[in-house]
Structure 1
Amino acid sequence: MNDRERDGQGARPGAGDSPAGALSPAPSPPTPRTASPRPLAAFAYTAADAEKSRGVRRMKATATGLLLCVAVIYALATWGKAEGAGAWAGYVAAAAEAGMVGALADWFAVTALFKRPMGLPIPHTAIIPTKKDQLGATLGAFVGENFLSADVVRGRLRALGIAGRLGAWLAEPAHADRVTAELATALRGALTVLRDSDVQAVVGEAITRRADAAEVAPGIGKTLEKIVADGAHRRAVDLICARAHDWLVFHADSVMDAVQGGAPGWTPRFVDRKVGERVYRELLRFVTEMRDMPGHPARGAIDRFLTDFAADLQADTDTRARVERLKSDLLARPEVQDVIASAWSAVRTMMLAAAEDDRSELRLRARASLLSLGGRLVTDGRLQAKVEGWVEDAAAYVVTTYRGEITSLITDTVASWDATQTSRKIEANIGRDLQFIRINGTVVGALAGLAIYTVSHALGG
């Protein structure tokens, strides 16, 4: 098995590989359609990680080669010292010996992070595979305490100056157009998703409940009282009188026939005709006078009737109860319920048309409002403070209320990772730096051993 085959175990290089450094779901065997839901995505070992692992192995070989080098130097220096090569051999042997100790100690430390050195069950080794869940919980707690606190969030948002930035962005016409278009799209989507029957039922129930709960008689009485006081009802009386006069003129025969038809059967026909004509003329005269005389007594009677009725609607218990019963009867009629429910269809059609039309009044007003809001956010310090306060309060509420749910995402995700895959992936990403620790340990150990040996001989000599 070559290096690529060894490194690629658990990964599937090809067109579906994730980019370097990305986390991709681990491949899994096909499951039947009735399988239970999949767990959280694994911390998968990808082709990019396999490439990094080759670099880690090269650094391992370098660190191990340096260890072997100092071991050979130690053996040669020790042999030379025994053969009387000179004092320098002791210094070289001490440096090489300390270098070996440092290299072995760092090798043990680095190896203990990912596995048990030489497979021995030494305590506090294989830290990542065995302590993975604990590390995830600790990381979640750390994030919750240091990043998801209300003070941290408020301070960060305050430093960003969100309101001013948002205002400057919205003040640009192109940005206002973009936001308006996005809002129109969202509105169309919402109206498309909503079922007309459900909305109609909700709207109808809301209007009916509101109308049924509110007593309408006093309001009607106050309105009618103001109308009569202002004389606004006189135009309605004028219209009714004019229409009544015109109707009588064009339907004279109908009126006289109705009067004659109500006469007793024993009266002569010519008498019935004369009575009908007389009644018609008097009725026409009365309506004509009402139309042409603003001070006609009948108009005054209408004024008094409306004034008394307005007062009864506000104060008379019986009148108010009768109006409430009439209101309930009207609301219960299917025709009224159909009208209330159909209001949603009209509103929906109007809103859809406005959202789809770039030049509709709705979109033009929305765009103008956004531009105005942007300008005010840039120049109005009080509005800026108010908006930023809202944003800070909302963010602080979210992080304090849902901190546990947010940190549990970290804890649960880490707990779902496969221990072996996690260890391999972490080693692939940070192992190269860890091998430098081994190299540094060898060099620093050698220098420290040389220094100790030198000082000890200087003090002893």
Structure 2
Amino acid sequence: MKNRIGTISLAVALIGLVFFELMLRGGHLSHQGWKVVLAGFEAAAIGGFADWFAVSALFREIPIPYFKRHTNIIAKNRDKLTEGIVDLVTNQWLSPVVISEKISEINPTHTIISFLKKPHNQQKTIAVVKRIVVKLADEVDNPKMASALKSILNEQIHELDLTSTLAKWLEKSIKNGDHHQLWELVIEASSTAISSPDTRKLLLSKLEYAAAEYGHKSLVKRLTISIGKSVGGIDLDVLAEELLRNAEEFLTEAKANPTHPIRSKFDEWMLDFAQKVASGDGDSRKMIADFIQGLTQHSDAEKIIQNLLTGFKETIRQQLKHDETPLMQFVISKLNKVILEMETDLEVQNKINHWIKDTVSQLITQFHGEIGNMVRNSLSKLDNEELVAQIEDKVGSDLQYIRLNGAVVGGLVGIIIALIRLI
């Protein structure tokens, strides 16, 4: 009914006009009051027709001579209409001021914290970070990287107090227990290296060399080695396998136990060494300085750096394979710690909010014109029929009330004028 209310109002006005005109002309109605009613329907018909023309002229062409050029207004003026919509959206509805005011009302840090606290969102975030790190790691062992690092080291090494910095970091890490994840990384990397076929080949070659050297010391020793090999008493393959197995078991125990004797002993030695360096012990500081100097000045420094980068790349790729590796456990624990600290530290939240809002405001100001371009491009993709159809679909029903109001108001005005004439 809503879409036809304008047509119905016009039809009622026309029927009323024809009916009362015939009744008055036929002498069936003679009172002056009926002329007032007729005037009302007459004015209603005029108003209804006028508003039908006005509304219809917006959306389509009306083939009436002379008036035809003033119809199909939306299609003929689509450029002006488009720019008007763009101006309305960009400078009023979505102006930089309006957007900035809306942004000032939100708390982006709270939203980020709530998002990251959900396990599945955290997993998605970590997965994205993994992909980025893997992409970056693929380029870590680029020869140009090794050359650049060597040049940087040679240029900056004398200006940096790496000795004191390294000592302070090492002492703090050991005291706080932050180095346990690093221990596990080192142990896992060592375990991987031990399990490598190349390691077995190298160990076997060393055992064979040691056995040969032992045999060269005397005839008796050479005969002992020879007899042992021939009767199976000395099997270098088995010996190599056993040594590697024991080494791997040892590393597994050390990895699982932070208080393992070898780890505790090494921690004590490293802590003592760090404290000596920090206190200014000449021999300890010279040891680090000589190591750094020797590393940077070595003729194969670039090759060493290249090998380190290659190993680092492979270690990173292995550590990122799943979330149970020491590196990923370290990252996840640190992420949860950061989330907890952010959640309770309002000062940090305010700083992050301020940075995000300032950055977004700058981007909005810089790229605000793109909003208008998007609106303009969206409208340009529509042909005239599609544009008119979309607008009519949104406002056409409401415009029917203009036609209804035209008929009603026209009728009332007609009645008032007729009454004035009778006075």
Equivalent residue letter for 1:382:
E
The alpha-carbon distance between structure 1 residues 210 and 117, as it changes in their structure 2 partners (threshold 3 A), is same
Equivalent residue letter for 1:160:
I
Q: Within 5 A, what are the aligned runs for 1:183-194?
A: 183-191=125-133, 193=135
What's the offset of the Cα at 1:374? 3.6
What's the offset of the Cα at 1:96? 0.7
Corresponding residue of 1:420: 385
Equivalent residue letter for 2:98:
V
| Equivalent residue for 2:90, pick from 121, 144, 152 | 144
| Equivalent residue for 1:103, pick from 48, 59, 63 | 48
Q: Within 5 A, what are the aligned runs for 1:147-158?
A: 147-158=93-104
Corresponding residue of 2:34: 89
CA contact (8 A) 1:140 1:410 kept: yes
Tell me the distance in 2 between the aligned counterparts of 1:70 and 1:448.
Answer: 14
Corresponding residue of 2:204: none
* 1:74 correspondence with 2:20: no
CA contact (8 A) 2:89 2:95 kept: no
> TM-score scaled by structure 2?
0.60
The alpha-carbon distance between structure 1 residues 405 and 433, as it changes in their structure 2 partners (threshold 3 A), is same
Tell me the distance in 2 between the aligned counterparts of 1:361 and 1:221.
Answer: 27
| Equivalent residue for 1:363, pick from 328, 340, 350 | 328
Residue by residue over 1:343-369, the C-alpha shift from the partner in whole angstroms, topping out at 9 and shown as x without a partner, is 444333333333333333433344334
CA contact (8 A) 1:166 1:374 kept: no
Equivalent residue letter for 2:91:
E
Tell me the distance in 2 between the aligned counterparts of 1:71 and 1:395.
Answer: 60
Equivalent residue letter for 1:132:
R
Corresponding residue of 1:43: none
Tell me the distance in 2 between the aligned counterparts of 1:147 and 1:118.
Answer: 37
Corresponding residue of 1:438: 403
The alpha-carbon distance between structure 1 residues 183 and 356, as it changes in their structure 2 partners (threshold 3 A), is farther
* 1:384 correspondence with 2:349: yes
Tell me the distance in 2 between the aligned counterparts of 1:428 and 1:221.
Answer: 72
**Largest Rg, 1 or 2:** 1
What's the offset of the Cα at 1:103? 1.0
The alpha-carbon distance between structure 1 residues 379 and 198, as it changes in their structure 2 partners (threshold 3 A), is closer
What's the offset of the Cα at 1:193? 4.8
The alpha-carbon distance between structure 1 residues 144 and 191, as it changes in their structure 2 partners (threshold 3 A), is same
| Equivalent residue for 2:75, pick from 129, 132, 146 | 129
What's the offset of the Cα at 1:201? 4.1
What's the offset of the Cα at 1:394? 1.3
CA contact (8 A) 2:319 2:326 kept: yes
| Equivalent residue for 2:318, pick from 340, 343, 353 | 353
CA contact (8 A) 1:137 1:410 kept: no
Equivalent residue letter for 2:13:
V
Q: What is the DSSP-based 3-state SS (H/G/I as helix, E as strand, rest coil) of the residue aligned with 2:77?
A: helix
Tell me the distance in 1 between the aligned counterparts of 2:328 and 2:160.
Answer: 36
Equivalent residue letter for 2:138:
D
Corresponding residue of 1:213: 155
Q: Within 5 A, what are the aligned runs for 1:161-172?
A: 161-170=107-116, 172=117
What's the offset of the Cα at 1:107? 0.9
Equivalent residue letter for 1:196:
D
CA contact (8 A) 1:184 1:356 kept: no
The alpha-carbon distance between structure 1 residues 189 and 139, as it changes in their structure 2 partners (threshold 3 A), is same
CA contact (8 A) 1:95 1:446 kept: yes
The alpha-carbon distance between structure 1 residues 391 and 196, as it changes in their structure 2 partners (threshold 3 A), is closer
The alpha-carbon distance between structure 1 residues 381 and 218, as it changes in their structure 2 partners (threshold 3 A), is closer
> TM-score scaled by structure 1?
0.55
Identity %: 21
Tell me the distance in 2 between the aligned counterparts of 1:371 and 1:433.
Answer: 54
Corresponding residue of 1:19: none
CA contact (8 A) 1:73 1:96 kept: yes
Q: How many residues align?
A: 303
The alpha-carbon distance between structure 1 residues 388 and 221, as it changes in their structure 2 partners (threshold 3 A), is closer
Q: Within 5 A, what are the aligned runs for 1:176-255?
A: 177-191=119-133, 193=135, 196=138, 200-201=142-143, 203-214=145-156, 216=157
The alpha-carbon distance between structure 1 residues 365 and 407, as it changes in their structure 2 partners (threshold 3 A), is farther
Equivalent residue letter for 2:104:
R
Tell me the distance in 2 between the aligned counterparts of 1:338 and 1:207.
Answer: 11
Q: Which runs of 5+ in 2 are unaligned?
A: 168-212, 218-281
CA contact (8 A) 2:43 2:410 kept: yes
CA contact (8 A) 2:109 2:349 kept: yes
What's the offset of the Cα at 1:396? 0.4
